[in-house]
Amino acid sequence: MGFRDLIAEVDAVVFETLGDTARIEGFDEPVLGMFSAPWLQPKIGKLNTGLREPRFEIRVSDSHDLKKGLLVSVELPELDGGGDYDLLQLEPSGDGLVALILRLHV
């Protein structure tokens, strides 16, 4: 088994166990990922973590046909940042994940 295959298996377990779900315009099934919002950013002591825009990180294998402007509906309570967002851009990280950079849908 290659390194990427091993990491894909680890990601699958992590996303299934800890992941958030979102519905993405044009996708038939919800997508698992990790959502973070700047107004809910984690605080480590008094350090600011530097997150600026809402992000939904997904596996590259789940990112087919994504493009700017799609509606992303994060399935979390509103107080946890759930709701509708517009996809602004994709930021691949090189480790099998891609961050969907979001903006609150108005």
CATH number, domain with residue 29: 2.40.10
Q: What is the pLDDT of residues 87-96, one digit of tens each?
A: 999 999 888 8
81: DSSP letter: T
Distance CA 97, CA 50 (A): 20
State how many domains the chain has.
Answer: 1
**18-31: average pLDDT:** 95
pLDDT at 87: 98
Domain span at residue 30 reads: 3-104
76: DSSP letter: S
Q: What is the pLDDT of residues 33-86, one digit of tens each?
A: 999 987 655 555 666 555 578 999 999 989 999 999 999 999 999 989 999 999
Calculate the alpha carbon distances from 31 to 34, 64, 100 in Å: 10, 11, 12
Distance CA 73, CA 76 (A): 9
Token pair in block for residue 37 = 């919002």
Torsion 37-43-48-50 (CA) sign: negative
Query: What pTM does this model have?
Result: 0.82
Closest CA to 21 of 47, 53, 58, 54: 58
Identify the weakest region by mean pLDDT among 7-11, 27-31, 44-48, 53-57: 44-48
